[in-house]
Amino acid sequence: MKIISNSALRAFAAQHPQADEPLQGWRRVIEKNRFGHWAELKATFNAIDKVGELTVFDIGGNKYRLIAYIRFEKQIVYIKAVLTHRDYDKGAWKS
- Tell me: the pLDDT tens digits for 8-45? 999 999 999 999 999 999 999 999 999 999 999 999 99
Q: Domains in the chain: how many in total?
A: 1
Reported pTM: 0.92
Please, which residues bridge with residue 66 across strands? 57, 82
Q: What is the pLDDT of residue 63?
A: 94
Residue 34 lies in a domain: yes
* Domain that residue 11 falls in: 2-90
Q: CATH no. for residue 22?
A: 3.30.2310.20
Q: What is the pLDDT of residue 91?
A: 81
Residue 95 lies in a domain: no
Residue 54 lies in a domain: yes
- The DSSP H or E segment spanning 32 is helix 20-32
- Tell me: the pLDDT tens digits for 58-78? 999 889 999 999 999 999 999
The number of beta carbons lying within 10 Å of the beta carbon of residue 18 is 10
Q: What is the rounded CA–CA span in Å between residue 66 and residue 59?
A: 7
- Tell me: the pLDDT tens digits for 76-94? 999 999 999 889 888 877 7
